[in-house]
Amino acid sequence: MKKFINNVDNFLNESLEGFGKAHKDIIDVKFDPNFISRRNKTKEGKVSLISGGGSGHEPMHGGFVGHGMLDAACPGFVFSAPTPDQMQAAAEHVDSGAGVLFIVKNYSGDIMNFQMGAEMYSGKNDSIITNDDVAVEDSTFTTGRRGVAATVLVEKIVGSSAENGSSLEECKKLGEKVNKNSGTMGVAFTSCTVPAAGKPTFDIGNDEMEFGVGIHGEPGRKREKIQPSKTIVSNMLEAILEDLKPQKNEKTLLFVNGMGGTPLTELYLAYHDACEILKSKNIEITRSLVGNYCTSLEMQGASITLLKCDEEILKNWDSPVHTAAMRWGM
């Protein structure tokens, strides 16, 4: 295992300390229990958004704490759900009187712990469950579809709505709409190595790829030989389009996400291929996002997310955001 690491037991806290120092103008990092919050207090009467999950997916979720997105994020150990006391502490810290909305990826541990945290918290709260992965219906640690990269889009769009004064009920309804209108498919070329394990999560040949992989290295639809980018992207989009069934000329947001170990040059090449394929199907791309936003440590590979957009979604996507990992319009 080759990683920047001092001690496995201190890995997460040391990383969080570095994150806090690097972005001290935007966020604060709290310990015992661990959570990340906005440096400036959430304004009174604003719905507070909290997300979280296992570490190793950075910049999701801590990198999205700030104006126009999250109010707090709860990082668990690598690929492990955060604990209920983290959610409770984060909620108590950021609730400004309008309630707390938890954004939770569909993994059994995340759902169980967020539900417990919500029950422990005495204030008004609700939750959104993301489940955008079209690869498989049931997988390791899930019942139903996995919550993956579209969680980033939910956090941005609902974050804007909350920033602009929407109620808890309105934020939840918008988040559910974004999730319902999103589809994601991922492909892995290599495994990743969890520091505590010290060895790759799964074995894969030098000429193989896992089609439909999960963000923790869970198995996908099939293992096959690596193919040209245009073929891989076409197969990914075919699975997404079969699920979403967008209308001709329907406006969409195209999100090409890196898994942590794929160069941007390759991600932009994949984006180019996706644009050509969608154009041939008369599907309009009106917004884009390319980069490493929902990662899996150093895994080589990528996911593609397509979001069907209406004016409400587009307005909230375009609105200003200022976080460690995403910022525009400020």
Cite the active site residues: 57, 216
Specify the DSSP class assigned to residue 263: -
Specify the DSSP class assigned to residue 226: -
Whose CA is closest to 107, among 194, 216, 34, 243? Answer: 216
Burial class for 240, CB neighbours closer than 10 Å (0-12, 13-18, 19+): buried
Sequence-distant contacts of 20-27: CB under 8 A, at least 24 apart:
22/324, 23/324, 26/65, 26/66, 26/322, 26/323, 26/324, 27/62, 27/65, 27/66, 27/324
Specify the DSSP class assigned to residue 136: -
* Contact yes or no for 288/253 (Cβ under 8 A): yes
Helices (H), 194-257: 229-244
Return all residues near 207 (Cβ < 8 A) that are at least 6 apart: 225, 226
* Contact yes or no for 114/91 (Cβ under 8 A): no
Rounded to 5 degrees, what angle do the CA atoms 24, 193, 31 make? 30
Q: How far apart are CA 29 and CA 36, in angstroms?
A: 5
- Hey, CA dihedral for 148, 150, 152, 154, is it positive or negative? negative
- Beta-bridge partner residues of 254: 288, 306
117: left (phi over 0), alpha (psi -120 to 50) or beta: alpha
Q: How many CB atoms sit inside 10 A of residue 94's CB?
A: 21
